Amino acid sequence: MTQAPTTPPAASDSSAPKGLEGITAGDTTKSRVDGVNGKLFYCGYPIEPLAEEGSFEECVYLLWNGELPNAAQLESFTADLRRESTVPSEIWDVLRPLVKGSTQMDLLRTAVSAMSAFDDEVADTREAIDGRDEIERRIANRLQARISTLVAGIYRLKQGQKPIAARDDLTYAANFLYMVTGEEPGEYEERIFDAALTLHADHGFNASTFSARVTAATEADIYGAITSAIGTLAGRLHGGANMRVMRMLEKVGEVDKAEAFVDDVLSQPKGRVMGFGHRVYKVEDPRATVLRRMAKELTDRTGNSKWFDMSVKIENRVKDKKGIFPNVDFYSASVYGSLELDPEIFTPIFAVSRTSGWLAHVLEQHADNRLIRPRANYVGHGERDYVAKADR
């Protein structure tokens, strides 16, 4: 016999908006997302010159240290990353039996978790010991260096190929493309990809970054925090959107079918066109502005304007029908597609870049930590008497 529902207790206090929309959950010095004016700053620097004139290595240094590196600092930091780029061979052994039944993001999540077993410094960081921050800096270097090798190697395992080791004469961006394809990229392709990495590096308390901070705030170690973040990024409402944008373009097939496709998606209840909308930006995502320009440039160079022309048609239709704008994932799909990268690697690429932001936030959280533990507004049954099984 089920009991009639009892009235829940009076609401303990006013509950935050669904999805914590509009709630400021803490302070950070890493990036400022200006959703009203459509601007993004890393440690005070607008992302446009960082992406178009700087390098991803400079961007990572900035996020971790709060200042742009001078030439000597950049050289030393770049050498640190290069020195740590080799993934323990046991990790590939762990992954091989899982390749068939896992996505690349699943494999990446598993790999990062497993890597803690091969890091003999991580155990010390689980207690509040003196000098933990220096140890965590070294771990951050290792993770940032290896995440690129891992993503490229996992892609190759999925293709039935062997992972390729990084070279010590290539930039971070060029090394990634080399480790994926086995060929050194052209200067222009390297430049574009480097800029795309910078554009994806950090973005306030987005879901995966906040997930990393919540994990780090329990004083769990860096590997646990980044594993949480990878699991969170994979969702289609977050980092998983860029791959789905490419799949959408492939499904639309022809430029003149783009508008009908959008109309069909929007006609469905809760229909969502991947790559559009944003919880914070109420105008165009400034990263989409840069990526659109990059996609157009790539199109002009390759002469193959199909994906770009289709994207513009889709963008205009969504704007006309819903008044919403493309986010970072929409044109990144055209850029990666024009670089002839497989859509299945798009979200892992997002993780390569965003690992720099996640690590910046984990270091920031640990530097001035307090457990992140919000309240819940209970709306279930009121107090009631236990009913013996025989009487149910």
- Nearest residue to ligand SDX on Cβ basis: 277
Residue (7 or 268) nearer to ligand SDX, CB? 268
If the CB atoms of residues 39 and 322 are measured against ligand SDX, the closer one turns out to be: 322
Point out which residues bind ligand SDX (CB under 6 A). 19, 203, 206, 237-239, 241, 270, 272-279, 322, 324, 327-329
Least Cβ distance, residue 75 to ligand SDX (angstroms): 29
Query: Considering 80, 106, 124, 238, which one is annotated as catalytic?
Result: 238
Annotation marks residue 278 as catalytic: yes
Strands (DSSP E) along 150-205, which ranges?
none
Nearest distance in Å: CB 304, ligand SDX: 24
Question: Is there a catalytic annotation at residue 361?
Answer: no
Nearest approach in angstroms of CB 389 to ligand SDX is 42
Check if the beta carbon of residue 62 is closer than 8 Å to that of residue 73: no
Task: Please identify which of the residues 285, 329, 361, 366 carries the catalytic annotation.
Answer: 329
Closer CB to ligand SDX, residue 122 or residue 225?
A: 225
Q: What are the DSSP calls for 251-266, one per residue?
A: HH-SGGGHHHHHHHHH
- Looking at beta carbons only, is 91 or 310 nearer to ligand SDX? 310
Residue given tokens 């933990």 in the structure block: 132
Catalytic-residue membership of 320: no
Cα–Cα separations (whole angstroms), residue 132 to 64, 67, 72, 121, 239: 15, 22, 25, 10, 31
Q: Which of 200, 278, 361, 366 is catalytic?
A: 278
What one-character-per-residue DSSP string does 27-38 give? Answer: --SSEEEETTTT
Give the nearest distance from C-beta 339 to ligand SDX in angstroms.
20
Residue 324: exposure state from Cβ atoms within 10 A (0-12, 13-18, ≥19): middle
User: ∠ CA 347-203-104 to the nearest 5 degrees?
Assistant: 15
The residue type found at 265 is V
Gap between the Cα atoms of 158 and 162, Å rounded: 9
Question: Annotated active-site positions, please?
Answer: 238, 278, 329
